C-alpha cells in the first residue's frame, strides 16, 4: 500500500514512459504527474537508452521543463503527426473521457491530442470520477473580446462561470492570448451534447471536454498501478 500522493504520481508518470521508443515524436502534456515522465525521458536520453526523440510541448512552461530535462523539441509544423503523447487530466470518467484545462493549456493540449496516434493519460486515483463534473469545473477558453456576453450565455445553459484570475487579481491569459472561464455545471450527464452546444457559440475557442481522445489511462492507486484502455 502506497499512501504518499507524490509517490503515486511518480509511479504513474514513469509507467507511461514504457510506451516511448527511440526515434519517436512525443507530445508533452501538462500536469504535476506528467513532470515525472519528462524527468525519466530526459534521464533515458542522457543514458543513451532513448535516441532520436523529438518532443512537442503543449505550453511554454512545459517547453521550459523539457529543455531542463534535456529533451529535444520540435513543432507540429515539422512533424504534423505525433506517435505518443503523455498528458494529465483533471478528471476521468469510466468511459475514459476527460476534463482538462486546469493548467490553462487546453487548446494546445487538444490540438496535440488530435494529432496523436496513442494518447496516454496519467493520473492518481483522486482524479477518477463516476461522471465528469463531479469534482471539477469545466474550463472554457474564450477570446477576450466580448467575454461578458459569453459569460451570460454560459449562465443561460446552466453554468456558473468564473473568470480565471492570477494571484495578483489580473485575468489569467493563456499562451494563445485568451481568457478562461471556469464553469460549474455540476455533473455533466451528456458531455457530447454539451460539447456540441459550446462549439456552436462564436467566441468560445475551445472547451476542456476531451471526448474519445484518451487511448489509455494509467491510474496510480494505493494498491499499485492499474491501466484502463479504450475498447
Q: Which residues are catalytic?
A: 109
Residue 125: closest CA among 189, 218, 216: 218
Contacts of 230 (CB under 8 A, 6+ apart): 96, 212, 214, 215, 216
Q: For 41-56, b where at least 16 C-beta lie within 10 A, e where not — what string? A: bbebbeeeebeebbbb
C-alpha span between 36 and 42 (Å, rounded)? 10
Q: How far apart are CA 11 and CA 30, in angstroms?
A: 17
- Cβ partners under 8 Å of residue 23, min gap 6: 51, 52, 53
Q: What length does the chain have?
A: 231
Instruction: Give 100-154 as a DSSP string.
Output: --TTS-HHHHHHHHHTEEEEEEEEEGGGB-SSTTSS--EEEEE-STTHHHHHHHH
Amino acid at each position: 500500500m502506497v499512501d504518499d500522493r507524490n509517490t503515486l504520481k511518480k509511479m504513474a508518470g514513469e509507467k507511461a514512459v514504457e510506451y516511448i521508443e527511440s526515434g519517436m515524436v512525443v507530445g508533452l502534456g501538462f500536469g504535476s504527474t506528467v513532470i515525472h515522465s519528462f524527468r525519466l525521458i530526459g534521464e533515458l536520453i542522457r543514458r543513451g537508452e532513448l535516441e532520436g526523440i523529438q518532443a512537442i510541448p503543449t505550453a511554454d512552461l512545459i517547453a521550459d521543463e523539457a529543455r531542463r530535462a534535456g529533451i529535444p523539441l520540435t513543432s507540429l509544423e515539422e512533424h504534423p503527426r505525433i506517435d505518443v503523447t503523455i498528458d494529465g487530466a483533471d478528471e476521468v470518467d469510466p468511459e475514459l473521457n476527460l476534463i482538462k484545462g486546469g493548467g490553462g493549456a487546453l487548446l494546445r493540449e487538444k490540438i496535440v491530442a488530435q494529432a496523436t496516434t496513442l494518447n496516454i493519460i496519467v493520473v492518481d486515483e483522486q482524479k477518477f470520477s463516476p461522471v465528469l463534473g463531479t469534482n471539477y469545473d469545466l474550463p472554457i477558453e474564450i477570446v477576450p473580446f466580448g467575454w461578458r456576453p459569453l459569460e451570460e450565455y454560459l449562465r443561460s445553459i446552466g453554468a456558473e462561470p468564473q473568470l480565471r484570475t492570477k494571484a495578483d487579481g489580473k485575468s489569467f491569459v493563456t499562451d494563445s492570448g485568451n481568457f478562461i472561464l471556469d464553469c460549474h455545471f455540476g455533473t455533466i450527464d451528456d458531455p457530447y451534447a454539451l460539447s456540441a452546444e459550446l462549439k456552436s457559440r462564436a467566441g468560445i475557442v475551445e472547451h476542456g471536454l476531451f471526448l474519445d481522445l484518451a487511448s489509455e489511462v494509467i491510474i496510480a492507486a494505493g494498491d499499485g498501478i492499474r491501466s484502463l484502455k479504450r475498447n
